[in-house]
Amino acid sequence: MTIRDVLNILFKRKLVVACFFLAALLGGFAGLKLIAPTYESTARLLVRIGQEDIYMPVLATSQFRTPMMSVVREEQLHSESSILTSGDLAQKVVSQVTPQRLFPGIDVEHPWYTPKGVLQLGRDIYRGLEDYFFPLSSDRTLEGQAVNRFLKDLNAQALKSSNIIEVSLRSKSPESAMLGVNELVRQYLTERVRIYQREQAGFFTEQLTQLDSQLAETEKAVNRFRTDKQIVDVDKQRSQQIERIDEVRKHIDSFKVSVSQSERQIEVIRSQLASVPATTQLSGAETSNGYAISELSKQLADLQRQEADIAQRFSENDPRLRSLREEIAVVNRLLKSQEGQRYTSSERGINPLHARLRDDLMQHEALLAGYRQALENWLQLEQETQARMADLNGQEAEYKHLVQQLQVLRETRQLYLEKTEETRFLSAQAAAKIGNVSVVNWATVSNRPVSPKLWLVLLGVLVVGLIGGVGLAFVVEFLDDSLKSDTDVMRYLQLPVIAKVPELV
C-alpha cells in the first residue's frame, strides 16, 4: 500500500476520523469535569543528631562511661519515615480530625444511576465478596476506611543528599490535605517523645533511696570494723609489725649466740674443775668463803641495776625483765648458800682455785638459765607477732572489700544523681517538644492539582483521537466490501472497467 492509498482511505473515511476525534475530545472533557482533581500538601522536617542517637552506658566505672553514637543517616531517616507512616499515628490523626474533614464525601451515598453511584455499587459488590470469602480481613467502619485511605494517600520519604524528610498527603480537597499533613506532623512530634523516651525519673529516685540505705549501712559497717579491729592505717600498722618482727628476731639471734657461748664456757669450766683437786693443805682458823660472797654480791648488784634500767626505759611487761629476775633469784639463792657456809683451817681444806672455778661454773649456769628463758620468751613473742601479722592481713582484705563496696556505692549514687538530673532535663525538653526534629515548613493549601495534569490530558486526547480515528478508518475500510467507484472495482476485483452505466433518475 502506497502513501497515496493511505491518503485516499483517510480522505474517504474522513467522517469516521472526525467523529472519533470529536468523541475523544468530548470524553476527555467529560472526564475532566467528572473526575475531581487531586491536591497535595507537603511539609518538610529537618532531622539532626540528638539524644536519641547517643547511648550512655549505665556502669559506674569511669573507663566504661564513654558515650557511643550511631550516625547512620540513612537508617535514622528511614526510622523517622517509618514512624510517620505508622498505622497508630494515622489512627490518631483520623480520630483527631474526623474522617469527614479529611475526606469530604466519604460517608455520602450517591444514587445508583450516577457515575459515583455506579462506582459505589461496584465497591459494595466487591466488599460483599470479600466478606464472604475473607470475613476477618474486611473492615467496614468509617474510621477504618479513612485510616486505610489516609495511609494509601500518605507519603514520607527523605530527600537525597540531605537530612530533610518530605511528608505529603493527597486529597480531593486542598484544605483537607493541608489539615491532615499538619496534624500528622503534630502527632508525630508528640509520639516520637514517647517512642524515644528513656528511663523515668521515678525509677532513679527509687534507686537513689535504696542506695542511700545501702550506703549508710556500709558506712556503719566500715566504721564498726575499724573500731572493733582498731584499724587506723593498715599499711602503717603492717610496717610496725614488720619492724617489731625484725627486732624480735635480732634479739632471738643474740640470745642464741649467748646460749651457745655460755654452753661452751660451762664445758671449759667443767673440764678445768675436773682437773683441779677439791682440797689442799691449809693452816689457820675457821673462816667463811669471802671471795665467793663478794663476787656474788657484785653480780647481784649488776643484775639489779640492769633490771631498774630496763624497767625505767621500757616497761614492766618487757620480756627481758623476766629472764633478769630469774637470774637475780638464782644469785640470791647462791649468796644465801655461801653466807651459811664456814670453812675451818686445818691441815687440809678446800682448794681456793677449785672453789673459784666452782663459783664461775655456778655463775655461768645461772646466766645460761637466764639466756634460755629469755630465748624462750622471745620465741613466744615472735609467734604472737606473726599470728598478729596474719590476723592483720585478713583484716586488711576484709577492710579493703568493705571500702571497695563503699566506693562502688558512692560512684553508683553519683551516677544515679546525674541520670536523675539528665532525665529531668530530657523530660522538660520533651514536654517543650525540643528535640532533634524541627519543622522546616508546615503544609499550606495548594491550588494547583497534582492530578490530572491538564496538558498531559490534552496531549493524550489529541494523540488518542488522531491515532484512534486513523485506526478506526482503516478498520472500517477493511470491513467495508461494497464497490462504490471504478477504482474499487479495479482494486478489489482486479478487473478493468470497460463501461460505466450512469445512474438512472
Q: Could you count the other beta carbons within 10 Å of the beta carbon of residue 53?
A: 18
Count Cβ neighbours within 10 Å for each residue of 399-416 and write b for 16 or more, e otherwise: beebeeebeebeebbebb
- Looking up cell 618482727 gives 245
Residue pair 346/392 in contact (Cβ under 8 Å)? The answer is no
Strand, coil or helix: what is 38?
Answer: strand
Please give the Cα distance from 465 to 467 (Å, whole number).
Answer: 6
> What's the pLDDT score for residue 229?
67
Torsion of CA 81, 86, 92, 98, to 10 degrees: 90
Specify the DSSP element, H or E, that contains 55.
strand 54-55
Q: Could you count the other beta carbons within 10 Å of the beta carbon of residue 280?
A: 13
Strand, coil or helix: what is 32?
Answer: helix
Cell matching residue 408: 562502688
CB under 8 A, 24+ apart: contacts of 497-502: none
**The model's pTM:** 0.49
> What's the pLDDT score for residue 286?
46
For the chain, how big is the Rg over CA atoms in Å?
A: 61
> What's the pLDDT score for residue 483?
64
pLDDT, tens digit only, all 505 positions of the chain: 677 777 777 777 788 888 988 988 888 887 777 777 888 999 999 887 655 555 555 554 444 455 555 566 777 788 888 888 988 999 999 999 888 888 887 777 777 777 677 777 887 787 778 777 777 666 568 888 888 889 999 999 888 888 889 999 988 888 998 999 999 999 888 887 777 665 555 667 777 888 888 888 888 887 887 777 666 666 777 777 788 888 888 888 888 888 888 888 888 778 877 776 766 655 544 455 666 677 777 777 777 777 777 776 666 777 777 777 788 888 788 778 776 665 444 455 666 777 777 777 788 788 888 888 888 888 888 888 888 777 777 777 777 788 888 888 888 888 778 777 777 766 665 555 556 788 888 988 888 888 777 788 788 888 888 888 888 888 887 776 666 677 766 766 777 777 777 766 5
264 burial (CB, 10 Å; 0-12 / 13-18 / 19+) is exposed
CA 320 to mean position of chain CA atoms: 64
Residue pair 28/452 in contact (Cβ under 8 Å)? The answer is no
> What's the pLDDT score for residue 346?
46
Cell matching residue 442: 508546615
> What's the pLDDT score for residue 60?
47
> What's the pLDDT score for residue 199?
52
> What's the pLDDT score for residue 496?
78
Q: Where are the domains of the chain?
A: 1-35+454-505, 37-196, 234-417
State phi, psi for 481 to the nearest 5 degrees.
-110, 15
Strands 343-344 and 164-171, sheet pairing: unpaired
